[in-house]
Amino acid sequence: MDSGEPVQTCREFAFDATRHQSQLRIIATSDLHHHILPFDYLTGRADASVGLAAAAVRIRALRGKVRNALLFDNGDFLQGTPLSDTVAARAADDGRIHPFIAAMNAAGYDAGTLGNHEFNFGLDFLLRSLRGAAFPIVCCNVARVDGGPLCPPFVVLDRRIVMADGAHEPIRIGVIGFAPPQISQWDSVTLGGAVVTTEIVAAARRHLPALRAAGADLVVALCHSGFGPAEPAPAMENAAVSLAALGGIDAVLAGHTHQVFPGQGPWDPAVDPENGTICGVPAVMPGANGSHLGVIDLHLDRSASGWAVTGHCVCLDGPGDADPPRAVIRTDPAISRMGTALHAQVVREQRQTVGQTAQAIHSHFARLRADRSLQLVADAQCAAARPIIAALGLGHLPVLSAVAPFNCGGQTGRQGAVSIPPGPISRRNLDELYPFPNGLSILRLRMAAVADWLERSASQFRTLRADDPDQPLFDPDFPPYCADTLFGLDYRIDPTLPPRFSAAGDVIARSNRRVGPELIAGLPADPAQEVIVLTNSFRASGGGGYHAAKAGRILHSTTEPLRDLIAAHLGRGTIEMAAPAAGWSFAPAPGVTAVFDAAGAAAAHLDQLPDRRLSVAGRPAPGTVRLRLHL
Ligand code: MN
Ligand code: MG
- What is the mean predicted confidence (pLDDT) over 37-63? 94
- Domain range for residue 508? 353-597
Domain count for the chain, please give it. 2
547 within domain boundaries = yes
d(CA 597, ligand 1 centre) in Å:
22
- Beta carbons of 297 and 10 less than 8 angstroms apart: yes
Is 8 inside any structural domain?
no
CA of 113 to the centre of ligand 2 (A): 11
- Alpha helices for 547-599 (secondary structure H): 547-550, 562-570
Predicted local distance difference test score (pLDDT) of residue 10: 76
Assess whether 322 and 245 both reside in one domain.
yes
Ligand 2 centre distance from Cα of residue 15 (Å): 38
pLDDT, residue 321, reads 53
Distance (angstroms) between ligand 1 centre and the Cα of 31 equals 4
Q: Is the pLDDT of residue 363 over 50?
A: yes
* Residue 133 shares a structural domain with residue 203: yes
Q: Does 610 map to a domain?
A: no
Cα 76 to averaged position of ligand 1 atoms, centre (Å): 5
Model confidence at 299: pLDDT above 50:
yes
Task: Give yes or no: residues 471 and 520 share one domain.
Answer: yes
DSSP 340-352: HHHHHHHHHHHT-
What residue type is assigned to position 366 of the chain? A
Same domain, 557 and 418: yes
User: Can you give the pTM of this predicted structure?
Assistant: 0.91
In this structure, what CATH number is given to the domain that contains residue 489? 3.90.780.10
pLDDT score of 326: 54
Neighbouring residues of 247: CB distance < 8 A, sequence distance ≥ 6: none
Do 575 and 554 share a structural domain?
Answer: yes
Give the integer Cα–Cα distance in Å for 43 and 50.
12
Same domain flag for 72 and 102 = yes
pLDDT tens column, 582-595: 689 999 999 999 99
Q: Tell how far the Cα of 119 is from the centroid of ligand 2, in angstroms.
A: 10
pLDDT in tens, 123-163: 999 999 999 999 999 999 999 999 988 999 999 999 999 99
Same domain flag for 187 and 224: yes
Mark whether 278 and 374 lie in a shared domain: no
Q: Looking at the structure, do residues 318 and 409 belong to the same domain, yes or no?
A: no
Query: Which of 297, 321, 345 is the last residue in one of the domains?
Result: 345
CA of 257 to the centre of ligand 1 (A): 7
Percentage of the chain exceeding pLDDT 70 = 95
Query: Final residue of a domain: which of 298, 326, 345?
Result: 345
Identity (one letter) of the amino acid at 231? E
Q: Within a domain: residue 466?
A: yes
Read off the pLDDT of residues 303-323 as tens digits, 9 standing for 90 and up. 999 999 999 999 999 876 555
- Is the same domain home to 252 and 146? yes
Average pLDDT, the chain: 92
**CATH number of 117's domain:** 3.60.21.10
Is 628 domain-assigned?
Answer: no
Judge if 327 and 357 occupy the same domain. Answer: no
Q: How confident is the model at residue 4 (pLDDT cuts 50, 70, 90)?
A: very low
Report if residue 607 sits inside a domain: no
Q: Find the 137 Cα to ligand 1 centroid distance in Å.
A: 17
pLDDT single digits (tens) 333-343: 999 999 999 99
Dump pLDDT digits (tens) for 66-118.
999 999 999 999 999 999 999 998 867 678 899 999 999 999 999 999 999 99
Average pLDDT, integer, range 396-413: 82
576 in a structural domain? yes
Looking at residue 508, what DSSP letter applies? S
Q: In the listed set 345, 365, 384, which residue is the last one of a domain according to the structure?
A: 345
In the predicted structure, residue 407 carries a pLDDT above the cut 80: yes
pLDDT tens digits, residue range 503-543?
A: 989 999 999 999 987 777 777 678 899 999 999 999 999 99
pLDDT at residue number 166: 94
Give 196's strand partners. Answer: 143
Cα angle value 64/69/71 (rounded, 5°): 110
What is the CA(256)–ligand 2 centre distance, in A? 4
Residue 121 included in any domain = yes
Helices (H), 214-292: 240-244
Please state, in angstroms and rounded to a whole number, the distance separating the CA atoms of residues 157 and 69: 13
In this prediction, residue 7 carries a pLDDT of: 40
Domain match, 325 and 365 both: no
Task: Name the strand (E) or helix (H) holding 236.
Answer: none
d(CA 504, CA 255): 16
